[in-house]
Amino acid sequence: MDSLKFLRHISLIISTIFKYFTSGPPQPSWNLKLYLSIELLRSLFCSYSGTIEELQQSNRNEDIPSHVKIDKVIISHEYRINAQAYIERLVKPYEVAIDPIWKSPRNNGINGELIMNKDWNFNNEEGSWEKEKIVIFLHGGGYCCGNIDSSREILCEISKISGARILAIEYRLAPQQPFPAALCDALAAYLYLKNPPNDTRFKPYKPEQIVLLGTGIALWSPWVDQTHSMPSYSDQMLDEIDYVPRRLGNVFANRPSIALSEFKQRAETITRKIQQSEIKLIGDESLKRIGQPINLYVVNEGLAIPYVSPVLAESLGGLPPMLIETGNVERYRDEAIYLSYRASNPEKYRLPAYETDFDNSHFKSQTEVTLEVFDEMFHAFQAFKYCEPAKVSINRTCNFISRVTREAILANPLPLRFSVLRISYDGEVRPLNESSINHILRWDQVGVYPGV
């Protein structure tokens, strides 16, 4: 760290400590350690001077607990090829807005880790394999950064509490490999678990044993609306609370970068192709008026693709049970809430902004959803494992993993339910008053990029 950066950090720490003891933290429950952590993280986003490549290469090595065993795995290119064939059919209606470079991976396999209790027996011959469960974990980072290293300690804790194995993968990152490269790699991981190669030390998993893509979906602070259309994303009051900037793409906008330069060139080519085409794209017309790309995952004209912004899908019914956790003071709060209601009652919560193909959708039945809104919490608060809400969230997620796999394996699911809960800093659980979120459920600008 150079001297100027060091002085800035010292100044920030001193001013934050002063504010903490004079006017208090932004949220009453925050202690000084948490307040300092958030301020330093926000400063990192605002003053980051490196390139996207440098950020992608950074990592944070975490100690591996003594009770955990980690096996390195490489998911062969064969699984990616099979996944790609399916993804190509899935995204064909939107291919004019998709960068074809995703079909040319720069490596021949997907690196990953199997995380489990050190006493776990791969040669499980006692008839209990059918009760085993595994979680496919996809790290955060806005599709352009992040890695397994930064999440390993949390994953070890989830494995310990839930009794599940964890498969964490290093999916391809944008802008070098934009949408749907990450989606393709996630599907490849699922296919790998269902039909592992002969030289692996575990048996094939059934869909009902897999959480995320199979039996259940657990989402922490999900980013499901890339159009930035929900009110909380543009809420200026959150500028002093959540560390996620309002325009994530601007973090790297002015840093010289080969990857960023190549992405912009490809994006311009795609945009010109769209302008010359008579194909009507899904999404609001505002997406064509944005200008420069607002993120590194997909061109602006592709932001409403349902596999980019799931909250804009024609329907979210008929999915596996979902657990959605969000902070009450995070930018992605409103889209997480809206996603929950759309999945739980597809018929009632159709998109108001533009017409989609709901009537022809195969996903119109209700999805079982548990929505949990954590008081005074910000984006991805689970990473701050020393604070009480993170511990509560991890425990509740583990309970969800155990419940949905048990019900699926026994083929004895409980009746569909929709739970909307509010959880205090200390873990007190109570129903969320729907009147406090009516403005979200009635929002008529879903999918409309603000300000253009």
Question: What is the model's pLDDT at position 392?
Answer: 97
Say if CB 321 and CB 215 are below 8 A apart.
Answer: yes
Question: What is the model's pLDDT at position 49?
Answer: 75
Contacts of 262 (CB under 8 A, 6+ apart): 175, 176
Question: What is the model's pLDDT at position 352?
Answer: 58
Question: What is the model's pLDDT at position 356?
Answer: 62
Question: What is the model's pLDDT at position 345?
Answer: 93
Question: What is the model's pLDDT at position 248?
Answer: 66
Say if CB 306 and CB 314 are below 8 A apart.
Answer: yes
Comparing CA positions, the residue from 221, 214, 68, 73 lying closest to residue 134 is: 214
Rounded Cα–Cα distance for residues 63 and 17 (Å): 29
Hey, is 113 helix, strand or coil? Answer: strand
Residue ranges in the chain whose pLDDT is less than 70: 1-6, 60-62, 121-127, 213-216, 248-254, 352-357, 412-413
Question: What is the model's pLDDT at position 172?
Answer: 96
Q: For 138, phi and psi rounded to 5 degrees?
A: -115, 115
